[in-house]
Amino acid sequence: MKVGVLSFQGGVIEHLNQIKALGHTGVEVKKEKDLDDIDAIILPGGESTTIGKLLKITGLIKSLKEKIESGLPTWGTCAGMILLANEVEGQEEKYLQLMDIKVKRNAFGTQIDSFKTHKVIEKISKDEMELVFIRAPYITEVKDNVRILCKVDDKIVAARQDNIIVTSFHPELTNDLTFLNYFLKGKWMK
């Protein structure tokens, strides 16, 4: 498979490394042409305001939105989740608006900005996964068409809707390829 990673800022290389480790080809996406023949795309973690600004300045936001709307399997990690959300709490600025979720940025509070935990996400694997949170958002509201995949401390940290999946945490910062494999196999979309 050819898997695109939006490459303006943030944790791009970690995703590209995991894509390669699974035997697929990773492609940096910076302009419209890069979207042409990819089979899936990952919107990485980073700073959503920076990535969002660059999406707008370059005009990539329009073609990326159309491509995702046409069914491209899409995974947003952390800042990527914020870019896909219909609404961001306390913030006027909106980006792709492709998922019926409301998100809260830096939502786990300043003292525990970053933490790790372990959890079984039943729909994904019977084995525990390491979940890494870095100044992470969580989902505060979902519409009926959104399926919740995982909660931590009662907060929604993974969900899906049609061809889009989002995680507050960073599987690409672990040695575990389970999540990427689950995303690329695509059974979750059916």
Closer of 2 and 53 to ligand GLN (Cβ): 53
CB of 134 to ligand GLN, least distance (A): 4
Say if CB 81 and CB 167 are below 8 A apart.
yes
Point out the catalytic residue in the list 14, 15, 78, 150: 78
Closer of 138 and 182 to ligand GLN (Cβ): 138
**Tokens found for residue 95:** 């980006």
Give yes or no for residue 132 binding ligand GLN (CB under 6 A).
no
Is 15 catalytic? The answer is no
What is the bridge-based pairing of β-strands 155-161 and 147-152? antiparallel
CB of 62 to ligand GLN, least distance (A): 21
Q: Which of 190, 148, 189 is nearest to 168 (CA)?
A: 148
What is the Cα–Cα distance from 90 to 103, expressed in whole angstroms? 10
CB of 37 to ligand GLN, least distance (A): 27
- Measured in degrees and rounded to the nearest 5, phi and psi for residue 84 equal -90, -15
Binding residues (CB under 6 A) for ligand GLN: these are 45-48, 78-79, 82, 105-106, 134-135
